[in-house]
Chain A
Amino acid sequence: MGLVLLALSLPAGAQAGGTAVITRLSNLHSLSRWAYPIGEAVIRSSPTPRSRSVGSLRFLTVDDQAELYLVLASARLPSGAEWIEIEVPRRPNGILGWVPRGALGTLHTVDGYLLVDQETLRATLYRDGRAIFSAPVGVGKPSTVTPRGHFYVLEKLQTLNDPAYGPYALGTSAYAPTLSEWPGGGVVGIHGTDEPQLIPGRPSHGCVRMRDADITRLWQLIEPGTPIDIV
């Protein structure tokens, strides 16, 4: 199952005399886990209540959908308390943090991941180690690049009143590095387009654009919480 057990020595003073047992819960390719928040909690830099805060759990995305968190690992402390490591979907990209297990609901599993390659300008969905979907994409212009890194699918939307987004859209945990003033903070989405002639290419403000038929197919195949690798 790709789960790894290891012992983590906590920072001095963080926990009295302890080693935490860390269990890796997602490998971000063949098995990943995610959960909805069910309680308010501060996200910490390490699995102790005294460690630095890196924010707090949010319940809603910028599009007023349920926020979900990709779960990376769990840490069981000598005291018996359990903490969960999560990816934090906010600016700057790549923030990780720990929350008490009780702050998150049921752990859902998801198989596979989406690879967005900015060199080949293709997006490929892998499941069970096989590519089950692949399509050309449009990515960010040099002035408004699409961020590289590990992200995940936050929400699945049907678009309304704006042909620029096509029929369907996927919200991701990625934020455009340059467009921080954009409404909603500059969330990077994967969506359709009304300018299919620009795909493949680099026409966007940071989002990943697809032809409408492709995004329709991907929208049907992909699940919330699916990891996204943008390279």
Chain B
Amino acid sequence: MERDLTGNRRANGLGGPGVRHPRARRAIVLAIGLLFVLAVLAPVGLAHEASAEGLAAKLERASKAAERTAQRAEHLAERAAERATSKQKRAAERLARREARHKERESRRSANKAHKEKEGNGVAIDCTKVTVTYRGFPTVEGKPNYVVEWIAVKNPPESISKEPIVFPPLIYSFEGSTGTEVVHIPFPVGHYLIDVHAKWDTNGHKGNFDIHGNVTCMPEPAYTITKVQSLEGSASAPTSEPLTGKVGQTVDYQITVTNTGNTPLTFTRFTDEHCESIEGGSLDPIEPLQTLSYFCSHKLTAADQTAGSYSNVASVTASTEPGEGGPLPPKKSNTVVVSPIAPETPKGEEKPGEKPGEKPGEKPGEKQGETPGQKTETPKTKTELAPGTGVIGTVAGKSGVLGFTSATVPSLKGPQGCVRGFFTASIRANGVNTVVFYLDGRRVSRQTYKNAHRGFLSVRINAAKLRVGVHHVRAQITMKQSSSSASAAHATRQLTVIRCASAVITPKFTG
């Protein structure tokens, strides 16, 4: 049997190509058989039946019956052919309809794509931030649009987490039809698959998206240094704007260094030439997004007043962990300026025109330490983002800034070169929940953050008991959970320790 285009079976034998119905074929076979039987039996009948008339009548009846049968068969064949044709036609119509639907879907899809590209939402990912753009939202006077978004890292390194890391949800608001949010996430070195999911039901506009992206990150060390100043006794917030201070008054400076890259940085060589009593800072590595503050001060002198103004600038040098980008050039802060004025007149010698409570040199309504137009405000503690990146808050955690747990796993520090006696291997306790120390694969100590001493978790090992050669200290670190939804990060850090022979030996030199 073969199949025609519509999938129906087609007979190759009886009935020919036009007769496809089985009943028609059966009728034709029956008619031919009957004629054959009559033709065979006719001579026998002649021999037994004497009457020629009777024979003729019989033959006539048989012939009519065969004719009827043939007609019926032909009729059936015609109907079968008609049916087959209509079936074929229907199949072809179905096919055409299907193609039309497909074409319509395709055109709709491409139109949607074009619309999204032009009007829709988008996500851009780089190694320090995820930028989410919302478009086509309603503009309602005085009523901002709100969206809730979730960011997930689907493939964190196994050493950090075996499950995707889902950051706490962020609520973002913006006015007008378009908004761009920047979420700062310092991705450590590696390749990451990022999933950004957002949902909104705002000002009558409802929707959501789930956008996937990926990013490959190399070490990108970066930092900023900013300097602000305030006058002793002033209620004003520290500012980078010029101030007016009296001779004898102390100017307090605060220098803030922020690690804005994706690798830990160690800050050294802090200098501030025109600043005394420098305090603060740390020689410990500073993790991405963390800040380090230095404080210093200067008492304004008559010489400063003679010079007209007192300005200064701070600078610091940053270096990366080994293999994570190399040393960075020193960077200077912004310059801050104070204009010294004559010292305050003694009390009781109020000059005409000065109101009680106002100090000399101040304009009415302006307090000391403020620049013209500056109003007294309580210090801002929130991380300030660039204009246009208006994050209003998060359900949990800091606004617009997400810590990536792997970046906070500390390194294992220990001796370099020969060890022959006791040595200490340690990690910074900041953010660590537990650490298990192993020496050459054998567990030697388990500690929790409660065991931290001076900010370090450490193990002391007596190298004198080790054989001469290379040994490995391994720290299996479990970090504290960054949020209830995120799983705790795990990491392993290893240290190679060289147990040397005594330095009092017979050398193997050629002599």
Q: A residues within 8 Å of B by Cβ?
A: 35-40, 59-60, 62-66, 68, 74, 76, 79-82, 100-106, 144, 155-162, 164-165, 169, 171, 176, 179, 182-184, 186-189, 191, 204-207
Contact = CB atoms under 8 A, between A and B. Distances in A.
15 contacts: A37-B496, A59-B470, A60-B469, A64-B500, A65-B501, A66-B498, A66-B500, A155-B503, A157-B503, A165-B506, A169-B507, A184-B509, A187-B509, A191-B511, A207-B511
A158 B326 CA distance: 37
Given A65-B418, A102-B323, A79 B511 contact: no
Given A66-B417, A105-B416, A106-B416, A76 B507 contact: no
Contacts of A59: 469-470, 496, 498
Contact of A63 (B219, B498, B501): B501
A60 B324 CA distance: 26
Contacts of A68: 417
B470 A65 contact: no
Interface in B300-329: 322-326
A63 B507 contact: yes
Interface in B137-173: none
B396 interface: no
Contacts of A155: 503
Contacts of B219: 80-81
Contact of B505 (A63, A101, A102, A205): A63
B247 interface: no
Interface of B: 218-220, 322-326, 416-418, 468-470, 494-496, 498, 500-501, 503-511
B18 to A, nearest CB: 70
Contact of A207 (B468, B495, B498, B510): B510
B510 A188 contact: yes
B416 A80 contact: no
A206 B418 contact: no
- 5 smallest CB-CB distances across A and B, nearest first, come from A102-B323, A184-B508, A189-B509, A64-B501, A105-B416
B343 to A, nearest CB: 46
B14 to A, nearest CB: 73
Nearest to A68: B417
Given A82-B325, A101-B326, A191 B500 contact: no
Contact of A101 (B323, B494, B506): B323
Contact of A144 (B220, B498, B510): B510
Contact of A161 (B324, B506, B510): B506
A50 to B, nearest CB: 17
B510 A182 contact: yes
Contact of A205 (B418, B470, B510): B510
Contacts of A160: 504-506
B448 to A, nearest CB: 27
A108 B511 CA distance: 29
Contact of B468 (A40, A64, A205): A64
A107 B483 CA distance: 39
Contacts of B501: 63-65
A178 to B, nearest CB: 9
A37 B323 CA distance: 13
Contacts of A165: 506-507, 509, 511
A183 B510 CA distance: 8
A191 B508 CA distance: 11
In this complex, the member of B322, B418, B470 whose beta carbon has the largest number of chain A beta carbons within 10 angstroms is: B322
Contacts of A186: 510
Contacts of B470: 59-60
Nearest to A21: B326
Contacts of A64: 468, 500-501, 505
Contacts of A102: 322-324
Contacts of B496: 37-40, 59
B322 A105 contact: yes
Nearest to A203: B511
Nearest to B503: A157
Contacts of B511: 164-165, 189, 191, 204-205, 207
B505 A62 contact: no
A155 B504 CA distance: 11
B322 A101 contact: yes
Contacts of A60: 468-470, 498, 500
B221 to A, nearest CB: 9
A186 B508 CA distance: 8
A205 to B, nearest CB: 4
A48 B326 CA distance: 16
Given A38-B495, A101-B322, A63 B508 contact: yes
Contacts of A80: 218-220, 324-325
Nearest to A175: B510
B500 A65 contact: yes
A186 B509 CA distance: 6
A109 B468 CA distance: 27
B436 to A, nearest CB: 21
A187 B510 contact: yes
Given A36-B416, A68-B417, A159-B507, 7 more contacts: A60-B469, A66-B418, A66-B500, A82-B325, A102-B322, A187-B509, A207-B509
A169 B505 CA distance: 10
Contacts of A35: 416
Looking at B322, B498, B509, the one whose CB has the most chain A CB atoms below 10 A away is B509
B508 A62 contact: yes
B37 to A, nearest CB: 91
A92 B490 CA distance: 44
Which of A68, A81, A179, A206 has the most chain B CB atoms inside 10 A of its CB? Answer: A81
Nearest to B507: A169
Contacts of A66: 417-418, 498, 500
Given A60-B498, A63-B501, A80-B220, A36 B507 contact: no
A158 B505 CA distance: 6
B506 A65 contact: no
Contacts of B323: 81-82, 100-103
B506 A204 contact: no
Contacts of B507: 63, 157, 159, 165, 169, 171, 187, 189, 191
